[in-house]
Amino acid sequence: MEECYAKIFVDDDSRRADVMTKVAEAMGGHIEVRTLVGDGFEVDFLDGEPATADHEIAEEDAFLYYPLVLELVAVDDAMAVPDFVAIASKLMHALHADGAAVVAACDFEDALPGGGRLPA
């Protein structure tokens, strides 16, 4: 069974607070410190892992070093996977609306826009 969890990597150099505000407007909910609390879900906004000169990064793995990482989780244990996929899709579109590259890592990537990858 698929888990209602997704890690979403975002190539957006905007301030985290600005991205959080934009996403809150698109998704609904309210912000508590670094978390967007929505109806049945939460999104934690985290700093991405910076690449160092030591890393040899394959092009298909570059997203692992995007500056912003979002962790989307269902807080409603009864949430069905299709409903969670719809939330993740809406989140990806909100992040991509300003041209940011967005990559999702989850059990249901194929069900997301672009197969879980929206290029800049």
* pLDDT attached to residue 2: 67
CATH code for the domain in which residue 76 is found: 3.30.70
* pLDDT attached to residue 1: 45
* pLDDT attached to residue 60: 82
* pLDDT attached to residue 53: 66
11: β partners: 101
* pLDDT attached to residue 9: 97
- What is the pTM for the complete model shown? 0.92
* pLDDT attached to residue 116: 97
pLDDT by residue for the chain (120 residues), tens digit each? 468 999 999 999 888 899 999 999 999 999 999 999 999 999 999 999 887 767 677 888 889 999 999 999 999 888 999 999 999 999 999 999 989 999 999 999 999 999 999 999
Query: Do residues 96 and 118 lie in contact, with contact meaning Cβ atoms separated by under 8 Å?
Result: yes
Domain span at residue 108 reads 5-50+59-118
State the total domains in the chain: 1
Rounded Cα distance, 32 and 70, in Å: 14
Rounded Cα distance, 6 and 105, in Å: 6
Rounded Cα distance, 93 and 27, in Å: 10
* pLDDT attached to residue 105: 96
